[in-house]
Structure 1
């Protein structure tokens, strides 16, 4: 198969989804043209221009850095259709109207390049029906592509073929979406709302029905159906507000219009819930309008009460007895909920039973395998487990019998029995739908392995479903050294991999010692070292819970010694005789950021959040983070026309003093925590593959570590300038006295202390100043308050 080389993409429609899809393409360095109607007044591309401007204001941010909005080219259908000829992929993302989409296809068909793929971004319209508006020659290159909102953050993309779509077109698009856009692809059958929305929205409707049955309030339901249930922390109704009640209503209407009692035995549950109908009537569409199921009033969060027809105070929590039930093993958990006497427990069993029942009845019609359903619900609805995974974990046949008993007793939403394959044959014998052989396909009656495409060779450890066979990093490769804190291992006998095992990948003394050993091993017998977390986060830094007792027990001297060991580790990573590569995903904060910046190279996924955050607990970076900022400022000044160091130091000082975190890999590059020579990888599951190849490439190129050099610092004059600004901020009430004290210490370290401007220092000199500042703060009562507050609540204390 020839390579599908996407040089440029056109997005048709500058609405909420179209503009955000364009933004994500730009994040991934894909040139894009955003089309919309010609404006009736003002600039003809005014509609698209306004949409792009709005991207800068949206939260969560669709763009990695807001300035990249300027990279989106604008166009209109009246003047610019000829530009489509230069596009390899055209994504239509206009409003969910079959007639509007068909009209647009008639308009653009003759301008689509002969090898281009045309895809419709729709949440549920029939792709086959849409294709009827296209000329015969274009239909083989047409398919559905369903991005989930917001496109930058949601991992799931559904691809939907028509009977005329060429198989290689789906393969080419899946490859592009996976590796270039960083998404998880599920192929769905062309049925109403495809897989995730079909299961998910049916589940939300069923949940609302059970809420009414059991007389529960929205806030209690959200408390029950959020993280406690292994789902999105926003629960059911807050999630609906975020998605938009108009969007939800549209997806519900698709179910209502395209299904009936004959095609879906759960059809009677698809009526628009009265409370949703009322909110739509009030035009309270959720977060976008400031009110939906919830409304923020000042600092208070109110919930809508249908009976009172008004918003009332919220904040009620679920009974903790059910919280304890939800922490039990899956089999015990489901039995406890089914036998619960209280309405909250009965409600939980009801919604879980309904989800199992619906997924089993519809599996054959909406998806090829059970894997597609579980992946779609994980990636599209932020579930920790898909319905089949949970069912299988709890005991397949035991749960199946409980479901069927409820169906027979008339407690379920539908009288439709569970399919025969649930109770008899390979699934019953295997104890579930996911096995080492693959996942269950009820159409073929076989367990089918994952789809094999060359792009998936880049995913050394893809996200696996429970019960599914496949490589797992904790047992893969050859272990070189392992403790409770770290595993040092290799996959190929060429590159060493170090994976921290501590909570949140904290750098404990044992973890630091293991990393030192990993460098020694890499230098002795291998081509490089990759520090890879396996999963989020990369590292949240030094282990504060170990450090504070150390201060109490051993005083400043012990803490100074612990910090010196961390600094030695950072310098060891920087000056190792083999390339050291930090493979970053999720948070790299504090010491995690320091570890990353001291490696020879960084490979980071797009959603990497990197920063020096020690100020939040009343400390300064103490493992070389400030030294890194000072050295980089000196290096940048040396290569510029202006030799003054302070202008190059200001941004780094601000980032450290305000605990700024890069809110994407692109933003982290802007802050200087990633360099232009570093690599950004869109897909999280390709991170290790790229990092290993980066280490090998650096070795093959004859890698040598940098030579230790002295560099100039800004000195006491630079410190005085920064100090003056801090005094103004303190006296103006923008920072507290302790903030002023901590920031002054940061300025002291960054400028080299009490020395003349331009004085040459080395890294060890500045690291000594770092340790002195860090240790002095660890003994400060205000810092103790911040540390204890962070450990207790996970949130910074401002004092």
Structure 2
């Protein structure tokens, strides 16, 4: 981590939501951080910063990846502790958006910062040159804008803006640290109002809201049309406003209007809706307020209600309209061609927004790649503006704009019948401002499966999994089902892959670039089998999973799993059977089978006991490790980060954590190649388990939870089956329980529970609602 190693301590000044969140992410990276704010209480001078840390420890979703990270945050105040910035390599200003206050703070910082320390602002509205007016050349050379997106832990985008006097080496230093240590995707933006994402995003929101009012489109209709069909998160526009806060919209608008050129198209659409003003005044600011465009009814029934844009009154939410044919599945030409207000609304949102984005290059960024990246990372769009234009057709978009008497951006004319993006010579290329195509160059150390797929066909494929060649003797196993769920086809492909890797390759990496590593076994298929009492099919899958995972564990080559997002149930168990795990920091790992009335069936119980009994902090004897694993599995505990996964035993102390999602595959591949040198498969474990007396002790605790109303009657039944597995069944504490014995115990417990109608009810409820049934 070349640049990251040069940042050993950070200071964040401003402990509001953004500043505190930035400090938390620095701490998540394992870097000490000083958090300062103003003095509001003379009796407790650092209360503001300390209170921010205390709030973050209670916030959900959590800004900290673990409580241990919070201990890396030192709190203080600007009046007493500003001299401490002398020990910091990067000083981030995140105070209120007032130029005079920022400039006054910089003057004080300049008195204390050490030579070579970088100062940056998290501003999104004040030009860099104005921020550094009156500062020395040395200060200006080390000054940048680093625009984080909220919440800083979860939003991957940083817009990095440098000035004419900024030292390129310092720009690169911060870019490298933000990338490798903080896990951010760094997009270089120009010093223009709103930079990239908010410049286009604010226009898009305004255009979408204006059109809904003008065309008589309801909130539900607007979000259904301008949401998933356009590659926008399901919140759509009005749901997004509720999420970020409706009261933020006037501030974004005012900020842009104060700095945009007089002829900017945003000025023509920026308008105030009286209804929105009244909502803000009355406290209806979205999820953080009394409600927003959506709310839950106040009658105790908590039914979903929606704001009627015409009357300003709430009504019961209607079912979101389904769009016909290809219009709802990403075919934008079909969407725009829909008759009536659906097609008209789609055009009223997409047409002006895409034309606006095209008109801003190169003013806001050097190329279209930066624009597309910023919108995908900052607003979670599936496709960037120029990818959207390609889905419509640049010529078709230009012709419609021209036909309506609207300006056609030069960039659209430059495309001239071509696409903005293409694949050529196994590489992604984008259309440059010079009219030629240019390779999309990944940062050093970034390896994406999407790029590997451009180079050729898969090595092997089934309906639910694919095997790819990542080069250097490493194959990649990718799950491809919905939510990357696991089924018999995955297990069959694993069985075929093992002899292939053993004969011709060095190692296997289990990895994919979906939102989630794997949600576990395919519950839909399982439910179908259960409903027709196809017990033999269920049993066949249990056996197939056990055999496949143990075959991976004892293969004559190393297996490295690289999760990101959810890795639940069977998805967690494949991690547990791997030689090593290289986890993305945002990995959410757990054995959650008890939540659907089952127990882990693919070897997870034995693997977890084996991990905990090898933990140096675990007391010796058969009971401590079993108790710890029972507590974790019976409560379906899910680690909310890779750091928490280490605390819960899902990851070993030696397993790696990658902060930047784009670097995960490269890191996992490197780990696999490292293990391949002189690799020897592990020896099968042997267990000494507490037996029936241990089970009785575990069940006493469960009975106590039930007596207090913390466990349901069926929780007790499931827990008893789990306890039987973990304690070794009828084994005596002096007996040796083999790994095969453990698999047999899991098998029997799983098949007993799967035949119980109460488990069937839990599976059905989970599939219908996404929530556990408390029966």
1:269-280 to 2 correspondences below 5 Å: 269-280=269-280
Residue 667 of structure 2: which of 690, 709, 713 is its match?
A: 690
SS at match of 2:19: helix
SS at match of 1:122: coil
In structure 2, relative to structure 1, the CA distance for the partners of 1:313 and 1:194 (3 Å cut) is same
Alpha-carbon offset, residue 305 of structure 1: 5.3
Larger deviation: 322-331 or 570-579?
322-331
1:284-363 to 2 correspondences below 5 Å: 284-296=284-296, 297=298, 298=300, 299-304=302-307, 312-321=314-323, 325-327=327-329, 329-336=331-338, 340-341=339-340, 343-363=341-361
Residue 496 of structure 1: which of 465, 475, 486 is its match?
A: 475
Alpha-carbon offset, residue 93 of structure 1: 0.8
Residue 760 of structure 2: which of 777, 784, 787 is its match?
A: 784
In structure 2, relative to structure 1, the CA distance for the partners of 1:245 and 1:98 (3 Å cut) is farther
Residue 542 of structure 1: which of 510, 521, 524 is its match?
A: 521
1:85 maps to which residue?
Answer: 86
SS at match of 1:584: coil
2:230 maps to which residue?
Answer: 229
2:133 maps to which residue?
Answer: 132
Alpha-carbon offset, residue 561 of structure 1: 4.0
Q: Contact 1:496–1:530 at 8 Å: present in 2 too?
A: yes
Paired with 2:210 and 2:564, the residues of 1 have a C-alpha distance of 39
1:98 maps to which residue?
Answer: 99
Residue 682 of structure 2: which of 693, 706, 717 is its match?
A: 706
**Mapped pair 1:593 → 2:572:** yes
Paired with 1:535 and 1:559, the residues of 2 have a C-alpha distance of 26
Q: Contact 1:155–1:183 at 8 Å: present in 2 too?
A: yes
1:526-675 to 2 correspondences below 5 Å: 526-547=505-526, 556-636=535-615, 639=616, 642-675=619-652
SS at match of 1:364: coil
Paired with 2:47 and 2:411, the residues of 1 have a C-alpha distance of 56
In structure 2, relative to structure 1, the CA distance for the partners of 1:257 and 1:434 (3 Å cut) is farther
CA displacement 1:711-737 (0-9 Å, x = unmatched): 221221221122122223334443332
Q: Contact 2:612–2:618 at 8 Å: present in 1 too?
A: no
Q: Contact 1:206–1:269 at 8 Å: present in 2 too?
A: yes
Alpha-carbon offset, residue 18 of structure 1: 0.5
1:742 maps to which residue?
Answer: 718
Q: Give the structure-2-normalised TM-score.
A: 0.93
Larger deviation: 212-221 or 96-105?
212-221
SS at match of 2:243: helix
Q: Contact 1:435–1:447 at 8 Å: present in 2 too?
A: no
In structure 2, relative to structure 1, the CA distance for the partners of 1:13 and 1:434 (3 Å cut) is farther
Alpha-carbon offset, residue 792 of structure 1: 4.5
In structure 2, relative to structure 1, the CA distance for the partners of 1:760 and 1:47 (3 Å cut) is same
Q: Contact 2:31–2:72 at 8 Å: present in 1 too?
A: no
Paired with 2:735 and 2:611, the residues of 1 have a C-alpha distance of 15
Alpha-carbon offset, residue 687 of structure 1: 0.8
In structure 2, relative to structure 1, the CA distance for the partners of 1:293 and 1:545 (3 Å cut) is closer
In structure 2, relative to structure 1, the CA distance for the partners of 1:176 and 1:508 (3 Å cut) is same
Alpha-carbon offset, residue 13 of structure 1: 0.9
Alpha-carbon offset, residue 626 of structure 1: 1.4
2:743 maps to which residue?
Answer: 767
Alpha-carbon offset, residue 703 of structure 1: 3.5
**Mapped pair 1:439 → 2:430:** yes
Alpha-carbon offset, residue 302 of structure 1: 4.0
2:366 maps to which residue?
Answer: 368
CA displacement 1:663-716 (0-9 Å, x = unmatched): 21112222211111111101111111000111122233x333332232221221
Q: Contact 2:431–2:437 at 8 Å: present in 1 too?
A: yes
Alpha-carbon offset, residue 50 of structure 1: 0.5
SS at match of 2:80: coil
In structure 2, relative to structure 1, the CA distance for the partners of 1:2 and 1:770 (3 Å cut) is closer
1:47-66 to 2 correspondences below 5 Å: 47-66=48-67
Larger deviation: 174-183 or 644-653?
644-653
In structure 2, relative to structure 1, the CA distance for the partners of 1:482 and 1:211 (3 Å cut) is closer
Alpha-carbon offset, residue 793 of structure 1: 4.7
**Mapped pair 1:461 → 2:452:** no
2:190 maps to which residue?
Answer: 189
Larger deviation: 514-523 or 19-28?
514-523
Alpha-carbon offset, residue 514 of structure 1: 1.9
Alpha-carbon offset, residue 559 of structure 1: 3.6
2:117 maps to which residue?
Answer: 116
Residue 397 of structure 1: which of 391, 395, 398 is its match?
A: 395
SS at match of 1:56: helix
Paired with 1:213 and 1:352, the residues of 2 have a C-alpha distance of 15
Q: Contact 1:486–1:498 at 8 Å: present in 2 too?
A: yes
Paired with 2:723 and 2:546, the residues of 1 have a C-alpha distance of 19
SS at match of 1:610: strand
Paired with 1:522 and 1:260, the residues of 2 have a C-alpha distance of 60
Larger deviation: 670-679 or 321-330?
321-330
Q: Contact 1:496–1:518 at 8 Å: present in 2 too?
A: no
CA displacement 1:306-334 (0-9 Å, x = unmatched): 7656x523412343346863236332332
Q: Contact 1:715–1:759 at 8 Å: present in 2 too?
A: no
Task: Kindly report the root-mean-square deviation, in angstroms, between the aligned alpha carbons of the 2 structures.
Answer: 2.6
In structure 2, relative to structure 1, the CA distance for the partners of 1:547 and 1:54 (3 Å cut) is closer
1:28 maps to which residue?
Answer: 29
In structure 2, relative to structure 1, the CA distance for the partners of 1:631 and 1:490 (3 Å cut) is same
Larger deviation: 283-292 or 147-156?
283-292
SS at match of 2:120: strand
CA displacement 1:625-671 (0-9 Å, x = unmatched): 112223334334xx558434434333322221222211211122222
CA displacement 1:373-405 (0-9 Å, x = unmatched): 221111111111122211112222112211222
Paired with 2:156 and 2:122, the residues of 1 have a C-alpha distance of 15
Alpha-carbon offset, residue 555 of structure 1: 5.2
Alpha-carbon offset, residue 428 of structure 1: 1.0
1:384 maps to which residue?
Answer: 382
Q: Give the structure-1-normalised TM-score.
A: 0.90
2:74 maps to which residue?
Answer: 73
SS at match of 2:711: coil
Residue 420 of structure 1: which of 410, 413, 436 is its match?
A: 410
SS at match of 1:365: coil
Alpha-carbon offset, residue 610 of structure 1: 0.9
Q: Contact 1:717–1:756 at 8 Å: present in 2 too?
A: no
Q: Contact 2:429–2:438 at 8 Å: present in 1 too?
A: yes
2:150 maps to which residue?
Answer: 149
Q: Contact 2:12–2:19 at 8 Å: present in 1 too?
A: yes
Larger deviation: 91-100 or 252-261?
252-261
Paired with 1:221 and 1:764, the residues of 2 have a C-alpha distance of 56
SS at match of 2:194: coil
Alpha-carbon offset, residue 740 of structure 1: 1.9
In structure 2, relative to structure 1, the CA distance for the partners of 1:97 and 1:276 (3 Å cut) is farther
Q: Contact 2:33–2:73 at 8 Å: present in 1 too?
A: yes
Alpha-carbon offset, residue 483 of structure 1: 3.2
1:479-490 to 2 correspondences below 5 Å: 479-490=458-469
Instruction: Give the number of equivalent residue pairs.
Output: 768
In structure 2, relative to structure 1, the CA distance for the partners of 1:565 and 1:144 (3 Å cut) is same
